Amino acid sequence: MLVLTRKPGEQIMIGDGIVITVLEGRGDGVRIGIEAPRGVPIQRREVIEAIAAANLAAAEAGPDTEDALRGLMPPPAAPATD
């Protein structure tokens, strides 16, 4: 891991298309600005981890899940008689 010290207004360049600018320091946090090409996704790590945890929880089906889902569906229609 590269660790740098920057002051407000100073920048860090990553590759050819990503620029990180230190905007200001606040107490125990720092505001940064990120310039990147449109195709480069930029997300906060805690958001990605929360989404992954929610997806994992949603994928885990409990023993009552099938019965609960069946209760949401209308009963099957009776076959047509001619």
How far CA 60 is from CA of 54, 55, 66, 72, in Å, comes to 10, 9, 12, 19
- Adjacent-strand bridge partners of 21: 11, 33
- Which range of residues forms the domain containing residue 46? 11-61
For the chain, what is the domain count?
1
State the pLDDT confidence band at 74, using cuts at 50, 70 and 90: confident
pLDDT greater than 90 at residue 76? no
Average pLDDT, the chain: 89
CA-nearest of 39, 32, 27, 26 to 4 is 32
Is pTM beyond 0.95? Reply is no
Tokens of 5: 């010290």
Answer whether residue 15 is part of any domain.
Answer: yes
Answer with the residue of higher pLDDT: 21 or 63.
21
Q: Is residue 75 part of a domain?
A: no
Q: Residue 78: inside a domain, yes or no?
A: no
Q: What is the pLDDT of residues 11-45, one digit of tens each?
A: 999 999 999 999 999 889 999 999 999 999 999 99
